[in-house]
Amino acid sequence: NLQMGDQSPSHSDYSSGVDSANYFQQCKYIHEVELVNMKLQMRILETHLETKDRLLRNLEDIIDEQETRIANMEDFIQGRTAAYTPSTVMLHGISALSLDFGSLSEENLRLKDALRAGQRKERINELMEADEDYESDMTSVSGECDSARNGTGDLMSQSAIVASKARAFIDEHQISRLKRCAEELKNEKDELKRLSQDMKDAFTVCMGEVKLLLESKTVDFFKVLMERYKAEMERRRTLHNQLVELNGNIRVFYRIRPLLSTRDQAAIRIDSMDEGVVHLEHSSGRKTSRAADFVIPTKFSQNEIFEKVSPIVTSSIDGYNVCIFAYGHTGSGKTYTMEGPSDDPGINQRAILQLFEASQERGNDIEYSIKLSMIEIYNDKIRDLLSISSSTSSSLTLRRDEDGHLSIPGLECRPVTSPSDVKSLLKEGSISRVTASTDANANSSRSHVIVRVHVHAKNNVTGTTTIGRLNLVDLAGSERVSQTNATGQLLKEAQAINKSLSELGNVVFALRQGQKHVPFRNCVLTRLLEDSLQGDSKTLVLVHVSPEESHVCESISSINFAEKIGQVQMKGAAAFKRAESVRKSTRVGGKEGSSPQTTPKKTNK
């Protein structure tokens, strides 16, 4: 147990810095010793306290034990007899123990207070020790500082000046560095700008070159494509044309209508072995056989007949001119073939509807416009069947325009855009024809009717335009004048009809013969059809004959007409076939073909 007051060195004993350091060191030791001392005291107190606590706990255990015993005793006593009285000695002992316990508890509390006081004192000592360390440090430092302060005063002011100068210098240096950086950045920015401009220029030049290259390549590519497309289109057109030409540009078909009455006998029949030959039996018993390109079987429906006709109808969509004539005497079935009954229409309606279908099938590349006009030629006069103002008296005239094409100024030419348009227009023209013939007091079969379809095709890809004309002609009855016993108006009619029909025969004959001069100008019918008959035009003559015996003379007349125009100059396969048949017939002795009256003459079948 160190006595602090005895051994503490006096502050004044130390005059130098070293002594004061020793002094502080010693103080520190003393405090440490005090601290250890305190800690030891506290430990003793704690041990004391623990002993007391232990004693207390023992005492508590004893009391608990005694109390348990008492409780047991009480139970025992209560259980035995209420007469027994509690032992006064036992009670006295218990109260004495309780007193001891009370005094022990008090002592325990005192010890706890002493412990708390000791802890407080220890804390105060710690704080004091820290204060003293600080004070002593401060004293020594302040001493040192005082001595240094005098020497460094000047230096401080000088260094402040130097520092401010240095700061100024650093600032200037920084600014100039920043300026240099800014300058460099500006230069780099300019350089980048120049670079981007160069790149832009290079890109523009490059793009221009690519564009030019692409344009030239695309143009070339499209040129090639276009040429190929044109070539293909032309090829298809040529092939179709060749197909039609192989059958002959001018063809003759026979149509024998069925007997209208079961009482009648058929005087005409188709050869059972050869569908291109018909046999006629005169009332006198004489027999005549004739050949045509094709003899339509009697059982053929309107549709089957149209299928035979449709290839040349298709030619009109390719820009060719096409003529289909219905020839024959009155009642032979011409109007039936061309117009047909409303529930089973004839060639006119089917042909125009086919043009619609074909134009739709060929897609969007080709724009088609189909127009229709209906013309009647009566007594060599042209009448417009679609004009509302038309009457028997007003007739139109044929004109040749500047580019050499024949036209009929004032003729109605109506566009048709749907099948219903076609039907209603054809009906309108048909009604107009019947009304006019009634007005003129004439039979409707005494005039020629031409349904003219204009097919205008514009190819949006190639830019080419073609115009095809399809003429569907229901000719006037071909009966001979002598048999009609006509006079006056009727005679005039008959003469006009006969002339026009024979001129038509002359024209077709001349065309088939390939003659240089074709007499188109001799009548209105041939003049009107001039454009549609020459050149690459396709012509089909459907010669109608009645099967009845009573019509044999008319039928023979029609067959003669067919034979006249059948004198052909054949082309392609037909010519080859013909040459073959000639060679064969020569080999077998030239029997066939020796008599034109009796032997079928196969034309360009």
**Interface residues for ligand ADP in 472-501 (CB under 6 A)?**
477
Region binding Mg ion by CB under 5 A among candidate stretches 14-22, 264-272, 442-450, 459-467: 442-450
- Of 549, 500, 576, the C-alpha closest to 267 is 549
Q: Reduced to 3 states, what is the DSSP secondary structure of residue 116? A: helix
Q: Are 45 and 114 in contact (CB under 8 A)?
A: yes
Q: Which residue type does 173 have?
A: H
Of residues 81 and 301, the one with the C-beta less far from ligand ADP? 301
- Check: CB of residue 257 under 8 Å from CB of residue 332: yes
Residue labelled with tokens 């024209």: 507
Tokens of 283: 């009332």
260 binds, options Mg ion, ligand ADP, none, Cβ within 5 to 8 A by partner type: ligand ADP
Q: Between helices 302-317 and 347-361, what is the axis angle to 10°?
A: 50
337 annotated as ligand-binding: no
Check residue 127 for interaction with ligand ADP (CB under 6 A).
no
Burial (0-12, 13-18, 19+ Cβ within 10 Å), 359:
middle
Across 381-500, the runs of DSSP E, i.e. the strands, are: 381-384, 399-400, 406-407, 414-415, 448-459, 465-474
Among the candidate windows 50-58, 203-211, 238-246, 253-261, which touches ligand ADP by CB under 6 A?
Answer: 253-261
Q: Please state the closest distance from residue 368 (CB atom) to Mg ion, in A.
A: 31
The count of C-alpha atoms lying within 13 angstroms of the C-alpha of 75, restricted to the half-sphere facing its C-beta, is: 6
Q: Report, in Å, the least distance between residue 442 CB and Mg ion.
A: 12
Query: Residues 303 to 322: which contact ligand ADP by CB under 6 A?
Result: none
CA dihedral 98, 102, 107, 113 (to 10 degrees): 150
Residue closest to ligand ADP when measured from CB atoms: 333
Chain positions 420 to 449 lying near ligand ADP, rule: CB under 6 A, are: 445
DSSP string, 335-364: HHHHT--TTS--HHHHHHHHHHHHHHHT-S
> Is there a contact between 528 and 500 (Cβ–Cβ < 8 Å)?
no
Q: Work out how close the CB of 549 gets to ligand ADP at its nearest, in angstroms, rounded to a whole number.
A: 16
Q: Is 260 in the site for ligand ADP (CB under 6 A)?
A: yes
258 binds, among ligand ADP, Mg ion, none (CB under 5 to 8 A by kind): ligand ADP
State which of positions 325-364 bind ligand ADP (CB under 6 A). Answer: 328, 330-336
329 marked as part of a ligand binding site: yes
Residue 330 CB, nearest approach to Mg ion (Å): 7
Which listed option, ligand ADP, Mg ion, none, makes contact with residue 429 (CB within 5 to 8 Å by class)?
A: none
**What is the rounded distance in angstroms from the CA atom of residue 193 to the CA atom of residue 131?**
71
In the complex with ligand ADP, which residue's Cβ is closer, 446 or 512?
446
Which CB atom, from 334 or from 452, has the smaller least distance to Mg ion? 334
Q: What is the nearest approach in angstroms of Mg ion to the Cβ of residue 258? A: 16
Binding mask 231-260 for Mg ion (x = CB under 5 A): ------------------------------
b or e along 152-178 (b: 16 or more beta carbons within 10 Å of the residue's beta carbon)? eeeeeeeeeeeeeeeeeeeeeeeeeee
CB 437, min distance to ligand ADP, A: 12
Measured from the CB of residue 437, what is the shortest distance to Mg ion in angstroms? Answer: 10
Asked if 258 touches ligand ADP (CB under 6 A), the answer is yes
C-alpha to C-alpha distances, 441 to 381, 386, 494, nearest whole angstrom:
16, 20, 14
The neighbouring-strand residues paired with 327 are 543
CB contact at 8 A, 322 and 596: no
Q: Give bridge partners of residue 154 from the DSSP assignment.
A: none
Question: Look-up: residue for tokens 């030419």?
Answer: 413
Please, which residue, 334 or 512, has the CB nearer to Mg ion? 334
Among 316, 349, 445, 447, binds Mg ion (CB under 5 A): 445
331 labelled ligand-binding? yes
**Closer residue to Mg ion in complex, CB, 247/335:** 335
Q: How far apart are CA 575 and CA 572, in angstroms?
A: 5
Q: Which is nearer to ligand ADP, 366 or 543 (CB)?
A: 543
- Ligand-binding site membership of 211 (annotated): no
For 573-596, give one letter per residue: b (16+ CB within 10 A) or e. Answer: bbeebbeeeeeeeeeeeeebeeee
Q: CA 252 to CA 500: how far, in whole Å?
A: 18
Q: Out of ligand ADP, Mg ion, none, which partner does residue 328 contact, by CB within 5 to 8 A per kind?
A: ligand ADP
From the list 408, 565, 407, 411, the residue with the least C-alpha distance to 478 is 565
Please provide residue 217's backbone torsions phi and psi, each rounded to the nearest 5 degrees: -65, -45
With H, G, I as helix, E, B as strand and everything else as coil, classify residue 87.
Answer: coil
The site partner of 289 among Mg ion, ligand ADP, none (C-beta below 5 to 8 Å per kind) is: none
Q: Indicate which of Mg ion, ligand ADP, none lies near residue 340 (CB less than 5 to 8 Å, by partner kind).
A: none
Task: State which residue, 317 or 338, has the beta carbon closest to ligand ADP.
Answer: 338
Cβ(309)–Cβ(324) below 8 Å: yes
- Sites for ligand ADP among residues 172-231 (CB under 6 A): none
The residue among 390 and 478 lying less far from Mg ion, judged by its C-beta, is: 478
Residue 333 binds what, of ligand ADP, Mg ion, none (CB under 5 to 8 Å, by partner type)?
Answer: ligand ADP
Using only C-alpha atoms, the chain has a radius of gyration, in whole angstroms, of 69
Q: Find the part of the chain contacting ligand ADP (CB under 6 A) among 31-39, 256-264, 456-464, 556-564.
A: 256-264
Q: Was 335 annotated as part of a binding site?
A: yes
Region 283-342 residues binding Mg ion, contact defined as CB under 5 A? 334-335
Smallest gap, in angstroms, from Cβ of residue 380 to Mg ion?
19
Q: How far is the CB of 334 from ligand ADP (least distance, A)?
A: 3
Least separation in angstroms between CB 352 and ligand ADP: 19
The nearest distance, CB 256 to ligand ADP, in angstroms, is: 8
Least distance to ligand ADP, CB of residue 551, Å: 11
Which residues are registered as beta bridge partners of 450?
A: 375, 473
248 among annotated binding-site residues: no
Residues making up the annotated binding site are: 328-335
Residues making up the annotated binding site for ATP are: 328-335
Binding site for Mg ion (CB under 5 A): 334-335, 445
Binding site for ligand ADP (CB under 6 A): 257-258, 260, 328, 330-336, 445, 477, 544
